[in-house]
Structure 1
Amino acid sequence: MRSKKIAVVGSGAIGSTVAHSLILRNRDIEVLLVNRSQQKAWAKAFDIGHTLAELEGRSIRAVMPEECEGADVIVMTAGALPREDGTRADVIQDNVAIFRQLVPLLARHNPEACFLNVTNPVDAMAYAIRRLSGFSPGRVLGTGTELDAMRLRAFLAEQYPLEAQRISIDVIGEHGDSMVPVWSRAQHGGTPLEIAIGLFDTAEKEELLTSTRRAGWDIRLAGEHSCYAIAFTATRIVEAMIQASPRPLLVSSLMQGELGIHGVYMSLPTTLGPGGVVQKHLPTLTAEETAQLEHSRAQLALQIAQVEALL
């Protein structure tokens, strides 16, 4: 069986952690660590490569963007970071400029690949990749709200007598402040969450959602970068793509009429395979959740308008 080739573009905290996670969890895989600073990418690949003395059937090497060829999946992590007092959308201009240099080159040398975007703002930058690559919509994804749902489950398990692994809750829409938790369908071990918890009011839900929204910023304000949870998330999405996992993940993709929404990237539960999107699963929403999703759509439309003005 041919090894799957995964290109990770950007060798900073997130990119190098994604590369390490992919190597640890997968056999029959070749990881290309792509960076315009050849020395930085080499150092990271050199370090990670020493683990291969204990791991069979995998490899890692550093390459320049123009040397990246034949990838099955390209994971985009390159980009500028928002200011500590800013928002993810603040770096759209900087990151579109970076992607304008990288994406057409990568698309040309990897015509059969799928893109998975990690760079913030995730949804808007996935849209930029789609426009710059010319790839079909199903082959360009963002990591979306899969990370947010994982964080929300962790906070629920910290606050209530629940097992995080048995909590099922979708978070849809934007990876950002307008994310929409689908509380109406949340469960713990098959039992509706409000029954499993007991009294669970709006204020408690809002407190949990605020913690979820702020998680990345709280890490940043502590002087560090959020990299481990997002690397785990990106790795699981890549695995679902190359292994055709039947489990839906909350990834961002182009909306083409689903739930009446067109033209923006946002997250829905989605089954993935080697060609990207296999099927989107449309949740049944309450009137309140539908209104929240429309607000999320409007926020994303503003970001995408900024992207369009820069392309």
Structure 2
Amino acid sequence: MKTNKISIIGAGNVGAATAFALMMNKVASDIVMYDIDHKKAEGEALDIFQGTSLVAPVDVVAGSIEDTKDSDIVVITAGAAQKPGETRLDLVNKNIAIYQKLIPEIVKYNPHTILLVVSNPVDILTYVTWKISGFPSERVIGSGTVLDTSRFKSAIGRAFDIDARNVHGYIIGEHGDSEIAVYSKTTIGVITFDEYFKSQKIKEKGFKTRIAAEVKNAAYEIIQRKGYTNYAVAVAVARICTAILRDERSILTTSSYLTGEYHVDDVYISTPTVIGRSGVAKILEFDLDADEQIAFEESANIIKGILKASTLEK
């Protein structure tokens, strides 16, 4: 019987929530959790496993890197967290050192898998993973702005008091401070954002700016209150995994490798991407307005600048 196996590297807050989301959404039949702290992985896996009789059949275990062998997808949530006083570059270099040891071990047991990077800074670490793994770029994907796009739709849905699933729009660029809300292509049903906004007779000035800032600062607001984010990103990861395993060819704003699209190349950055069983099936390219195009290129340059200064390029 064909099984769908997903391994999660890292059993911290995000890794554990991801395993739970995969179970609840019936995405995989086998879930393996690996963490350098094996007892932590065992505890999380056991806690999740004990609810499996109430959902679709799924086996959830804690294991070694060897136990991840022949996974359809390997989700990477492991990595160092940024400490007070550390720069973004410090964090990147620390994670590069971790990935230089970790990725070859994953690839050794999973030469045909799809690598899905979730750890931050996700665009940079996805590029690092691609370089170290030697995989074709189609099989190395970052979770990118799938979560940011969900936040964007949810914020607009709440503001307009409509079902967020009927908001169609994207956050593109870096998963971070330079991300871009693409209002020029956002629609409510089939109505353009600007048309719908006008029909609502909302008098708030700077509505677009406020929503975009709310999305960009969402993680900071949550971290300030509870110390970390984990639930919504886990749902986003489960959504990507579903699109892969079911060969949905869904359009998701994953962090994907660009080779000239939008006048940007040699960088992993988020843009609408067709995701299917082979990973990235196609990167969608569409016309941005002038300000959005400039912002997207600037966002790509920020990512490239950090990579250039990192130990990966040394």
- Calculate the TM-score normalised by the size of structure 1: 0.94
* Letter of the 1:295 counterpart: E
Q: How much does 1:172 deviate?
A: 1.1
Alignment gaps of 5+ in structure 1 = none
* Letter of the 1:4 counterpart: N
What secondary structure does 2:93 align onto?
helix
Q: How much does 1:85 deviate?
A: 8.0
Taking only the aligned residue pairs, the percentage that are identical comes to: 28
Conserved in 2, the CA contact under 8 Å of 1:261 and 1:297? yes
- Measured in 2, the distance between the counterparts of 1:273 and 1:239 equals 9
Q: How much does 1:145 deviate?
A: 0.8
- Measured in 1, the distance between the counterparts of 2:88 and 2:12 equals 17
Q: Which moved more, 1:81-90 or 1:27-36?
A: 81-90
Alignment gaps of 5+ in structure 2 = none
User: What is aligned with 2:25?
Assistant: 25
Q: Deviations over 1:171-206 (max 9, x none)?
A: 111111111111111000110011111167872211
- Measured in 1, the distance between the counterparts of 2:179 and 2:71 equals 31
Summarize the Cα distance change of 1:169–1:280 in structure 2 as closer, same or farther, 3 Å threshold: same
- Measured in 1, the distance between the counterparts of 2:161 and 2:56 equals 40
Q: Which moved more, 1:69-78 or 1:83-92?
A: 83-92
Summarize the Cα distance change of 1:182–1:40 in structure 2 as closer, same or farther, 3 Å threshold: same
Q: How much does 1:66 deviate?
A: 3.7
- Measured in 1, the distance between the counterparts of 2:309 and 2:2 equals 41
Summarize the Cα distance change of 1:233–1:258 in structure 2 as closer, same or farther, 3 Å threshold: same
* Letter of the 1:143 counterpart: S
Q: Deviations over 1:78-119 (max 9, x none)?
A: 112224787765521221122112111001110010100000
Following superposition of structure 1 onto structure 2, how do residues 71-110 of structure 1 map, counting pairs within 5 Å?
Answer: 71-83=71-83, 91-110=91-110
User: What is aligned with 1:139?
Assistant: 139
The structure 2 residue matched to 1:236, chosen from 239, 261, 267, is 239
Following superposition of structure 1 onto structure 2, how do residues 1-311 of structure 1 map, counting pairs within 5 Å?
Answer: 1-26=1-26, 29-83=29-83, 91-198=91-198, 203-309=206-312
Conserved in 2, the CA contact under 8 Å of 1:27 and 1:56? no
- Measured in 2, the distance between the counterparts of 1:152 and 1:28 equals 28
- Measured in 2, the distance between the counterparts of 1:219 and 1:88 equals 20
Summarize the Cα distance change of 1:299–1:252 in structure 2 as closer, same or farther, 3 Å threshold: same
Q: How much does 1:305 deviate?
A: 1.5
What secondary structure does 1:178 align onto?
coil
Conserved in 1, the CA contact under 8 Å of 2:99 and 2:129? yes
- Measured in 2, the distance between the counterparts of 1:28 and 1:266 equals 27
- Calculate the TM-score normalised by the size of structure 2: 0.93
* Letter of the 1:203 counterpart: G
Aligned Cα root-mean-square deviation (Å): 1.9
- Measured in 1, the distance between the counterparts of 2:89 and 2:78 equals 15
- Measured in 1, the distance between the counterparts of 2:126 and 2:278 equals 16
* Letter of the 2:24 counterpart: L
Q: Which moved more, 1:256-265 or 1:121-130?
A: 256-265
- Measured in 2, the distance between the counterparts of 1:110 and 1:188 equals 42
